[in-house]
Amino acid sequence: MQVSRRDFLKAAGAGTAGAIVFPSILDGELKAFAREPVKSKPIVWDRVFNHACGVCDSVCGTTVYVKDGRIKWIEGNPGDSLGGWGKACVKGSSAMRHVYDPDRLKWPLKRTNPRKGKDEDPGWVKISWEEAFATIAQKFNESIEQYGPQSIVLLTRPKEADTRLQKAIGTPNFTNHVDTCFITPQLAWMSMTGKGRPWCVDLPNARYILSFGWDMPGKSKLCYLQPFFAAKNNGAKVVVFDPRMSMTAAKADEWIAIKPGTDLAVVLAMIDVIIGENLYDKDYVENYTTGLDKLAEHVKQYTPEWAAQVSGVPASDIVRIAREFSNTKPAVIPTHKRDAGGPNYANSFHLALAEIALSALVGSIEQRGGIFWSRQPKARSVDEFAPVKFPEMKEKRRIDGVHLFPLATKVRQGNFSDFADGLCTAIEKGDPYPVKVALVNKYNILSFPNPDHVVEALCKLDFLAVVDILPAETAQLADILLPDVHFLEKEGAEIRSYQALWPQVEMRDGIGTLWDEKGWGSIVNGILEAMGKAEFKVDWKGLEEARLEDIGISMDYLRSHNGIWEDKKEPKGNLTFNTPSKKIEFYSSMLEKEGYEPLPTWHDKLAHPSEEYPFYLLITRNAWSRHGKLGNDPILMEIQPSNFLHIHPDAAARLGLEEGGCAFVTSRTGNTLKMPVHITRSVRPDCVATEHGYGHWSKELRYAVGCGTNEGDLIPDMTIEEHLSKKSHDPAMSACCSDVCVSVRKA
């Protein structure tokens, strides 16, 4: 507020009985300081507190040391027996550098440059939260009035606050990362067990671990890494099928360099062997499964000899491993996200089905040493806590076409792979209806297939609001940019889901916000309030307290119990399933009902080496990276400043590539990336591999920008039509994130 000199003089003159008082630079209160303790924010100089790491969903319990007002050290909390087991990984212990990164988003920002693009300076100016919320609400409300609620796109996470916002607005366009991460196994488990995807593996008690590309130990996901090594120490045998020697493969008893995307053939043949030789667990199969006869008949076509031809794995090995797997108890197939049974290939859905069938045959589901669903304590839902009537969602069609896939619709989750295509069509042609505005919560464009298409689509929007921690790529295209709270600043409680073999709650104590950031829940409330939809707001802190009360604990309890509550007991198998038969269905009645093949069936992957693109592309993630989130850490980037093109010596010799030289890599997206070459026998001669997490172009990321390339540029995104063409065998609309071949030439 500007006080003009004249006004000031007038006011001053009135109060001082005629004495002329000039305005002074020294007028006014101190801005940065408060003399009264009640108005000041106290600094805690020395403190040790328990916290739950938030870098990845392993959510390891940690102990955080604050000295001289700053976090100086983070280590594992020994009280956490499900996540880190008393350890912190390289990512978790690096988080203290991220919270103090001066490039972080600190206040809401507004764009002043109307032009958008990768090379446009947004021309940020700082604004207040009030202005930020008011602007977003105005854009949203205008869009609703003119085009309906479906014209608002939410690109946010499949979590409570996000769902609340979606339902309050009434838009079907709630899009998230599940098709590039886990919808494939999610739907496969639903089809065969009627339940969602289980996230727990009782590895320490397993005697035989069979991995089809599963590499969690190599990703330093401690909740899987720790029990994996415990299993090894207990003498478990580990067999890994992977075209690349992953970290897990390097620690395995046996590494089988299978041809990419053919794991399905091997699993089908193993099923054939196990049923044919009567090696399955009779009690388990009889009591807890149905449809064995149909499965047995169906897999007769998938002989080990046939599978050997498809996969390149000798038939004798397939038979031997099938026998070992069924004779060594407990045996388990751990799976996670981007493995062969994840959304990597066009046949991943059937691989996921086949893996479940194989697990059920040896009795490895909900049995000691096997796979378990998360044991979460009973606590109220957000709708129980804050019941409200949501408006009817009139428009069911979505711009990413999920409504055309009945099973994908069931899990009500969106799609990254055809998002750009759907958004461009909606914006340009108004088909199926116009879309004008969007809100993105911490999704980086670099995580999408063919990210340039997403950039193009987002630039076409009238208005884009983005929430993030760092000014990363998506943020560069925002009109309003909102700062989220870093997990080390947060206070709260976290109910474990990954590896929750028994119920566990971890506390976050936090250091408080360094600047003026807000958490996602508060941001959602702020938007709802400004939109005139205050009735949908939720007291998130109150909800958390109520949940702890439901469990019978409180923040004070957690604080005085090393930050962790566990109801530690070995899980008892819960062998009731939610299928119509209440059993695991080898022959899925749900798939049959929806018109899909009810049994795991061989389908080929999409892309095979051709003259034009002679190499399979394999994608991996470093142990010290978490998607693109940690790229702005100078120390982590120093470990490996660029991704490499990992190539077999024979292929390298043929192409004239040398170690330390560079190569151009091209795919059918038309994009070409230049990568430094690393020659290694850890990949098959018909494959090349590279690491994700590089290729940042946001010029506001000081350390990450310009380091390496993003392999997503080589992965084609999809159209709804392409999804429809594989609809018959892939009800999950998986993104096929590694189903592409590339050409390589010397640079």
Partner 1 sequence: MVNKRNTSCIFEPGTARAVVYRFLARCFSYPDGQLLSLFDDARIEEFLQSWHLLGMDKEEAIPEASRWLIESCEPETALLELEKEYTRLFIAAYPQKVVAPPYSSVYLGSGRQVWGASTAQVARLYEAAGLGMNQSFHDVPDHIAAELEFMSYLILEQQGHNDNETGRAREMASIEKKFLTEHLCKWAPLFFDQVAEHSRSDFYRSIARLARKFTDHEILLAPASGGFK
State how far the Cα of 270 lies from the Cα of 302, in Å rounded to an integer.
9
Using DSSP, state whether 93 is helix, strand or coil. helix
- C-beta closer to partner 1: residue 124 or 280: 124
Per CB under 8 A, 108 contacts partner 1 = no
Q: Which DSSP string corresponds to 489-505?
A: G--EEEE--TT-SS-EE
Pick 37 or 532: Cβ nearer partner 1:
37
392 touches partner 1 (CB under 8 A)? no
- Does position 128 interact with partner 1 (CB under 8 A)? The reply is no
From candidates 14, 18, 22, 233, binder to partner 1 by CB under 8 A: 22
Three-state SS at 350: helix
- Of the candidate spans 23-31, 181-189, 215-223, 613-621, the one that interacts with partner 1 by CB under 8 A turns out to be 23-31
Cβ-count burial 636-652 (b if 16+ within 10 Å, e if not): bbeebeebbbbbbeebb
Separation CA 568–CA 560 (nearest Å): 18
Are 664 and 745 in contact by the 8 Å Cβ rule? The answer is yes
Three-state SS at 665: strand
Residue selected from 57, 97, 529, 557 as contacting partner 1 according to rule CB under 8 A: 97
Copy the structure tokens of residue 419.
Answer: 């998002």
The yes or no reply on residue 4 touching partner 1 (CB under 8 A) is: yes
Q: Does 124 bind partner 1 (CB under 8 A)?
A: yes
Contacting residue, 55, 88, 105, 144, with partner 1 by CB under 8 A? 105
- 17, 18, 35, 278: which one contacts partner 1 (CB under 8 A)? 35
**d(C-alpha 58, C-alpha 219), whole Å:** 11
Question: Where does residue 369 fall: left (phi above 0), alpha (psi -120 to 50 degrees), or beta otherwise?
Answer: left
Of 81-89, 449-457, 512-520, 594-602: span binding partner 1 (CB under 8 A): 512-520
In terms of CB distance, is 476 or 579 closer to partner 1? 476
In 3-state terms, what secondary structure has residue 201?
Answer: strand
CA 248 vs. chain centroid, Å, equals 21
Least Cβ distance, residue 728 to partner 1 (angstroms): 47
Q: Is 17 in the site for partner 1 (CB under 8 A)?
A: no
For residue 722, what is the enclosing H or E element? helix 720-725
Task: Examine residue 45 and tell whether it contacts partner 1 (CB under 8 A).
Answer: yes
Residue 581 is encoded by which pair of tokens? 């038969």
DSSP helix/strand/coil, 462: coil
Name the 3-class secondary structure at 47. strand
Task: Provide the minimum distance between the beta carbon of 1 and partner 1 in the complex, in angstroms, as a whole number.
Answer: 5
H-run or E-run covering 687: strand 687-692
Contact characters 542-581, partner 1, x per CB under 8 A: ----------------------------------------
Gap between the Cα atoms of 546 and 563, Å rounded: 18
Q: Site mask, partner 1, residues 649-688, x = CB under 8 A?
A: ----------------------------------------
Tell me how far apart the alpha carbons of residues 518 and 107 are, in angstroms, rounded to a whole number: 9
Spatial distance between the Cα atoms of 331 and 160, rounded to a whole number of angstroms: 35
Considering only residues 701 to 740 of the shown chain, the ones binding partner 1 according to CB under 8 A are 702, 705
Residue 699 makes contact with partner 1 by CB under 8 A: yes
**By C-beta, is 73 or 664 nearer to partner 1?**
73
14 is an interface residue for partner 1 by CB under 8 A: no
118 near partner 1, judged by CB under 8 A: no
Site size toward partner 1, by CB under 8 A? 63
Site string (50-79) toward partner 1, x via CB under 8 A: ------------------xxx---------
**Contact of 648 with 684, CB cutoff 8 Å:** yes
For 423, other C-beta atoms within 10 Å of its C-beta total: 25
70 has which bridge partners?
67
How near is the Cβ of 155 to partner 1 at its closest, in Å? 21
Minimum Å distance from CB 702 to partner 1? 4
What distance in Å separates the CA atoms of residue 586 and residue 291, rounded to the nearest whole number? Answer: 5
**Site membership for partner 1, residue 102 (CB under 8 A):** yes
- Give the Cα separation of 566 and 502 in Å (integer): 7
- Candidates 73, 100, 390, 433; binder of partner 1 (CB under 8 A) is 100
User: Contact, 386 vs 167, CB < 8 A?
Assistant: no
- Binding to partner 1 by residue 460, rule CB under 8 A? no
Interaction of residue 513 with partner 1, rule CB under 8 A: yes
Tell which one of 634, 641, 656, 670 touches partner 1 (CB under 8 A).
634
- Does residue 106 touch partner 1 according to CB under 8 A? yes
| Residue 454 DSSP label | H
- For the CB of residue 523, give the shortest distance to partner 1 in the complex, in Å: 16
Going residue by residue from 585 to 624, which x/- string records binding to partner 1, judged by CB under 8 A? ----------------------------------------
18 binds partner 1 (CB under 8 A): no
Closest CA to 491 of 568, 439, 548, 551: 548
Nearer to partner 1, 12 or 662 (CB): 12
Distances (CA, A) of 386 to 366, 520, 533: 34, 17, 14
* 515 contributes a contact to partner 1 by CB under 8 A: yes
Q: Applying CB under 8 A, which part among 13-21, 144-152, 441-449, 500-508 lies near partner 1?
A: 13-21
Question: Distance between CA 460 and CA 446 in Å, rounded?
Answer: 18
Pairing of strands 645-647, 662-666: unpaired
Which residues of the shown chain bind partner 1 in the complex (CB under 8 A)? 1-5, 12, 16, 19-35, 37, 39-43, 45, 68-70, 97, 100-103, 105-107, 109, 112, 121-126, 471, 476, 481, 513-516, 634-635, 699-700, 702, 705
